[in-house]
Amino acid sequence: MGETQESGAAPVVSGVTYDIRKVLAALPHRYPLLLVDKVLSLEIGEEIRAVKAVSFNEQFFQGHFPGRPIMPGVLQIEALAQAAGILAIETLELAGSGKLVYFMGIEQAKFRTPVEPGCLLELNAGFLQKRARVCKFWGNASVEGKVTCEVQFTAMIADPPAE
């Protein structure tokens, strides 16, 4: 998984902690709704840095908007939530448990700059509040250091639906 360094605080998993194979193992999402390509850093119990390579081939660009393709803001929030889901899974040691991380609420969402094809969308998310079944997160997305989206959201840790 990468090296873990202890510096008196929470452990930081350094280097490329998740390539796409590890992202696929951590999250139940699949194309076209998998919106995290790589995890750059993860501080257990604190925050995560991940990226989404935004390609013109994304399905949503066909209709949003044909003459001026822009990534929908709700998908930026979904990408942040997926990154936060990885953080929650690692922090709460849920890997392999089958548990899922579900949205409960989205608050204070602000969209600052459009995200266009060809961008590398940087995803930063962290805990505001952490409990066994409910967590609150902050998140911001950016392109080349320019914030595109800011949000706070709440998620519930739950068993998957019965089949």
User: Could you give the residue numbers annotated as active site?
Assistant: 64
Cα gap 142→144, rounded to integer Å: 6
Counting Cβ atoms within 10 Å, is residue 18 exposed (0-12), middle (13-18) or buried (19+)? buried
Count of C-beta atoms within a 10 Å radius of residue 93: 9
Question: CA-based angle 45:122:79, to the nearest 5?
Answer: 70
Name residue 152's beta-bridge partners.
107, 138
